[in-house]
A and B are shown apart, each in its own frame.
Chain A
Amino acid sequence: MMKLRDRAAHPPDADLAVLARLGLTRGDGGPRVLLVQATAVIAALAVVFGALYQAVGAAEESLGVIGHTSGRQVVATTDLYYALSDADSQVATVLLLGGTGSPLADAASERFEQRRGDVATALLEAHHLAGAADTQRGTIESIMVQWGEYQQLAAVALLLAERADYSAGSPPPAVLKAYREATELMSGQVLPEAYNLTLENATIVRASYDDARGGIDAGFIAAALAGLAALALLVWLQVHLTRRFRRVFNPSLVVATAVTALSLFTGLTVLDTERDALTEAKKDGFDTVLSLERAKAISNGLHADRVRFLLDEDAADVYEQTYFDKAQQLVYIEAVSLPRYRDALEDGGGGALTGLVGNALDGSAEAERVFSAYTDLILADARMRVDDGDPSVRIAPVDEARADYEDALDTLSKRYLDRFESAIAAGEDAVAGSTFLLTAAMAALSAFTFGGIVPRLREYR
């Protein structure tokens, strides 16, 4: 072995002629060629790992945005919307029923107090999640101030009602005027700002998702192309050594080639898994969660419109129309008026349903329950609208239907929320530790590649 190497390193002149005929003489470059080849391999590997690293980073960042900041903010802001809107409904209910005294009015009064606490909690949570986002913080702070103003206006209306002492269903003009001022602030300023904040976070999630998808796709292409280049270079280096030094295999380079192929395959597979997890978290999880959260907010507006319809006779027509518009936003059925809508709904709606609730009807038992509870609610509302008499008797069955519908919606929403959270966790698990693995693989491959050429470099001495 040593003898052969010595002969190769210092061949006699006659041997040089033979080697030249066989095409085995060293070129002018000598060790430089080997070093250039090895460096090219390392450079290609650096591109592979750089691209994988970038793409994994983009995916991790997006999972963070969807799962932990804007995704959670969507839930926090709809909780806020719910608490605010329900607080206003409860005030309207107390005023409709003629101040405190009746069990229903007392219950509404109690629920208003409870909602005040919920609003405070939701505001703090939303403010916390807004982090350094100035516009979002500004909006939340503006809602805080307006909520303070609303509570004062509502307190005036409630006080006037208590003093006026009227029978249910016939609030005096002064009470109505005070309430109108409060509810105009709520539905004209506070609620739109809260709802638009939810949508703004949905925009942030969508933009982050699109960017991450673009980053993963670009990383996939770059890693794949550079990986194939690295493999080709490794094979070329192997052939070069074989021809130049008459070694069939260079064990180090064989290992380097195998590890490169394996790393490339693993890296691309991880990216593919990551892309799937991200898509599932966004499309199947987040989008449906968002749709159902918006449905909860709109449903709340629907209930508020019903109470206002009863409370404020002068504006009753407008409240009936906004009620109808919201109902169509939840479950769209082509209809020209609320009565026609009810009829069509009772017949099952006909065909595939769309709308915020309609889109989430996936055929599951939970979804079936949402649809039947929604139908019951709209029908109970219809009976309430045609009935005359004591409002507390008229609204009791609707309140019951509402509670059942909200419960059904919560159950369905919970299922999608779980799915969303597990998709986020799965995505994060898939990339966990990948930064360390990528760095380790890169170091090992560099060592193997240079390890493969070092003995040959020695032969030049």
Chain B
Amino acid sequence: MAGRALAALCALLLAPLAACGEANGESILDKDVLRIGVRTDLSLIAEIVDGEFVGYEIDVAEFIARELGKEAVFVPVDLHERAPQLLAGKIDIAIATYSITQERKQSIAFAGPYVIDHFDVLVREDDDTIASLDELAGKRVCEIEGSNAVERLTDEHGIEAEIRSVESYERCLTMVDAGEIDAIVTDELTLAGLALHADFGADLLGAHFSQERIGVGMRPGDTAGCEAINRAITAMYREGHAERYLEKWFSDTVLDLSRFPVPQFEGCE
């Protein structure tokens, strides 16, 4: 112990002092500008209208950036690009309908969740062959790369649907309209936006077949940054903004907003 004290002393005298403040990985708290990865193709959630980013998640992202005292810069990000762009340092955080799963946590970290969402099923109003989740067996369901909704349906619920890979939800909607697929499976916030803009009568089954905890994707190791975001989310709920944002964007949709709970945080490792 004494030897170590001496060794430390010697090391201190030999090393230039600047080297002592060695950074233990970067934190978003050290930045003035936060590059926030967001979706751009989801009505009500996040889209670009007249060159401006607007939507529920944009409001949440702006609130979090404001609480952290940072300037928010939005970067469009595709579902399957969220983790790679985070890890490559192209975006600092992702607020992009990102469900927290234990599997995803093996490679990236999550703050939040900031909202608890459920997976549901969108079908044509006039399609009376699908009234429950089980009736999706043998039906054509579209899948967007990077989403975990179809995995939940087929692996966890064992429903053998016919899966079609499609590049965007907009395209899925056109295909449902054209009768090329039967259903879209994803979270109800997304489906509510899609249903609102569909050119046909669209229905949500109300199946709520999974609970999705939508969080803020981060690079692993930034505990202080993650904790600061959790504090911002706590403030968002305590001050009533969380409820206001949901009402602002989803009050005209089929969603029952009274059911949205306070999120239990995942915890920052």
- Which residues of B in the span 1-59 have a Cβ within 8 Å of any Cβ on A? 1-2, 4-5, 8-9, 12-13, 17, 20
**Cα distance, A200 to B118, chains bound together (Å):** 26
A217 beta carbon closer than 8 Å to chain B? yes
Q: Contacts A224-B12, A329-B102 known; A196 to B4 CB distance under 8 Å?
A: no
Residue among A189, A217, A272, A276 with most chain B CB within 10 A: A272
- Contact yes or no, A196 B265, CB < 8 A: yes
Report B207 CB to chain A, min CB distance, Å: 8
- Contact yes or no, B210 A199, CB < 8 A: no
- Contact yes or no, A195 B102, CB < 8 A: no
**Cα distance, A355 to B105, chains bound together (Å):** 10
- Which residues of B in the span 118-152 have a Cβ within 8 Å of any Cβ on A? 118, 133, 151-152
- Contact yes or no, B264 A196, CB < 8 A: yes
Segment of A116-124, A166-174, A331-339 in the binding face: A331-339
Report B138 CB to chain A, min CB distance, Å: 19
Q: How many A-B residue pairs have CB under 8 A?
A: 110
Segment of B64-72, B162-170, B181-189, B255-263 in the binding face: B255-263
Task: Indicate with 1 or 0, residue by residue over A182-203, a CB within 8 angstroms of chain B CB atoms.
Answer: 0010011101110110011011
Q: How large is the interface on A (under 10, 10 to 19, 20 to 34, 35 or more residues)?
A: 35 or more
- Contact yes or no, A221 B265, CB < 8 A: no
Q: Which of B5, B116, B261 contacts A265 (CB 8 A)?
A: B5
B157 proximity list for chain A (CB < 8 A) = 317
Q: Which of B17, B158, B224 contacts A207 (CB 8 A)?
A: B224
Q: Which of B13, B155, B158, B261 contacts A187 (CB 8 A)?
A: B261
Q: Which of A189, A220, A273, A321 contacts B152 (CB 8 A)?
A: A321
Closest to B116 in A: A188
B230 proximity list for chain A (CB < 8 A) = 196, 199-200, 203
- Contact yes or no, B156 A324, CB < 8 A: yes
Report A320 CB to chain B, min CB distance, Å: 8
**Cα distance, A193 to B2, chains bound together (Å):** 46
Q: Which of A135, A138, A184, A196 contacts B259 (CB 8 A)?
A: A184
Closest to B262 in A: A192
A429 proximity list for chain B (CB < 8 A) = none
Q: Which of B1, B13, B223, B264 contacts A206 (CB 8 A)?
A: B223
B2 proximity list for chain A (CB < 8 A) = 265, 269
B199 beta carbon closer than 8 Å to chain A? no
Report A210 CB to chain B, min CB distance, Å: 8
Closest to B207 in A: A317
- Contact yes or no, B118 A318, CB < 8 A: yes
**Cα distance, A138 to B239, chains bound together (Å):** 12
- Contact yes or no, B102 A336, CB < 8 A: no
Could you tell me how many residues of chain B have their Cβ less than 8 Å away from some Cβ of chain A? 43
Q: Contacts A317-B209, A321-B156 known; A272 to B265 CB distance under 8 Å?
A: no
B241 beta carbon closer than 8 Å to chain A? no
A294 proximity list for chain B (CB < 8 A) = 267
Report A75 CB to chain B, min CB distance, Å: 16
Tell me whether chain A's interface is mostly helix, strand or loop, or mixed: helix
**Cα distance, A322 to B99, chains bound together (Å):** 13
Report B230 CB to chain A, min CB distance, Å: 7
**Cα distance, A315 to B211, chains bound together (Å):** 11
Task: Indicate with 1 or 0, residue by residue over B200-233, a CB within 8 angstroms of chain A CB atoms.
Answer: 0000000011110000000000011001001100
- Contact yes or no, B102 A328, CB < 8 A: yes
A153 beta carbon closer than 8 Å to chain B? no
A34 beta carbon closer than 8 Å to chain B? no
- Contact yes or no, A315 B20, CB < 8 A: no
- Contact yes or no, B262 A217, CB < 8 A: no
Report B74 CB to chain A, min CB distance, Å: 27
Task: Indicate with 1 or 0, residue by residue over A208-240, a CB within 8 angstroms of chain B CB atoms.
Answer: 001000000100110011001000000000000
Report B6 CB to chain A, min CB distance, Å: 8
A224 proximity list for chain B (CB < 8 A) = 9, 12-13
Report A319 CB to chain B, min CB distance, Å: 9
A193 proximity list for chain B (CB < 8 A) = 262
**Cα distance, A337 to B116, chains bound together (Å):** 21
Report A180 CB to chain B, min CB distance, Å: 10
**Cα distance, A318 to B133, chains bound together (Å):** 12
A325 beta carbon closer than 8 Å to chain B? yes
- Contact yes or no, B102 A332, CB < 8 A: yes
A202 proximity list for chain B (CB < 8 A) = 267
**Cα distance, A338 to B208, chains bound together (Å):** 18
A228 proximity list for chain B (CB < 8 A) = 13
- Which residues of B in the span 230-269 have a Cβ within 8 Å of any Cβ on A? 230-231, 234, 238, 259, 261-265, 267-268
Residue among B9, B102, B152, B238 with most chain A CB within 10 A: B102
Report B154 CB to chain A, min CB distance, Å: 9
Q: Contacts A187-B261, A318-B209, A338-B156 known; A269 to B1 CB distance under 8 Å?
A: yes
A268 beta carbon closer than 8 Å to chain B? yes
Closest to B4 in A: A272
- Contact yes or no, A336 B118, CB < 8 A: no
**Cα distance, A202 to B211, chains bound together (Å):** 26
Residue among A196, A210, A338 with most chain B CB within 10 A: A196
Task: Indicate with 1 or 0, residue by residue over A135-162, a CB within 8 angstroms of chain B CB atoms.
Answer: 1001000000000000000000000000
Q: Please name 5 further chain A to chain B contacts, defined as beta carbons within 8 Å, in addition to the given A207-B224, A269-B1, A317-B133, sorted by A numbering.
A: A265-B5, A273-B1, A318-B209, A320-B156, A332-B105
Where the two chains meet, the residues of B that have a C-beta atom closer than 8 Å to any C-beta of A are: 1-2, 4-5, 8-9, 12-13, 17, 20, 101-103, 105-106, 116, 118, 133, 151-152, 155-158, 208-211, 223-224, 227, 230-231, 234, 238, 259, 261-265, 267-268
**Top 5 nearest A-B pairs by Cβ distance?**
A188-B261, A192-B264, A328-B102, A336-B155, A203-B227
> Can you list 10 A-B contacts with CB-CB less than 8 angstroms, sorted by A residue number?
A188-B262, A192-B262, A192-B264, A202-B267, A217-B20, A221-B12, A224-B9, A224-B12, A225-B12, A318-B118
